[in-house]
Amino acid sequence: MSRADRARVGAYGAAACAAAYGSMKLAQALGANALADKDPLPPELRELLLARDPLFVASHWLLAGAAVVGVIVALATVRPWGAAVPRRLLLTIAWTLGVFMIARSIGMVGFGFVGDALLLSGVRPPPAEHAALARDLARWDLLLWSPFFLLWGACWTMAGWRLGRRAPS
């Protein structure tokens, strides 16, 4: 694989992660469980999510649409037709999404490796009335969601890095 091909991996990876996330949100919007019960939300919000509250259903439609936009933006960083999109806009989107997703995976926005490890090790005790649920959701977050957001964020930052190093069209 050439160096140029390796540099494109970030953009295609970001597009693939956006497609996977969008597919899950679309399935949830259409009524499927699709890991909704593994979403690390506070118990009150989790109940609304699982009861298919109209605001959560609407948010799934919005997130599915945002994922489609994410696929297009990720591909615009490497495809010839992406030259029509302002380069600075693509760079801003790629780096912002990458940094936010990496921060989320680490635990800087409430969830992530650090918070999950603290909860599961007993350093940060879970709420007494929801201890078992909090531990279960922390395990899911530690093993599925945080690695997924770390991968997705790394792909976005790779796409941004590649775009920033490429000569402007």
pLDDT per residue as tens digits for the range 133-157: 999 999 999 999 999 999 999 999 9
Length of the chain: 169
Cβ–Cβ < 8 Å for 135, 102:
no
pLDDT per residue as tens digits for the range 80-123: 999 999 999 999 999 999 999 999 999 876 689 999 999 999 99
Q: How far apart are CA 153 and CA 159, in angstroms?
A: 10
Judged on CB neighbours under 10 Å (0-12, 13-18, 19+), 47 is exposed
Q: How wide is the angle at C-alpha 161 spanned by C-alphas 156 and 165, nearest 5°?
A: 150
For residue 10, what are the contacts with CB-CB under 8 A and spacing of at least 6?
Answer: 154, 155, 156, 157, 158, 159, 160, 161, 162
The first and second tokens of residue 15, run together, are 């597009």
**What's this model's pTM, rounded to 2 decimal places?**
0.90
pLDDT per residue as tens digits for the range 5-16: 666 999 999 999
The first and second tokens of residue 73, run together, are 């933006």
DSSP structural state of residue 145: I
**Helices (DSSP H) in 30-53: which residue ranges?**
43-50
Q: Quick one: how many helices (H) and strands (E) in the chain?
A: 7, 0
Number of structural domains found in the chain: 1
In which domain, by residue range, is 143 found? 3-165
Indicate if the pLDDT at residue 169 is higher than 60: no
Q: Which of 84, 85, 94 is nearest to 18 (CA)?
A: 94
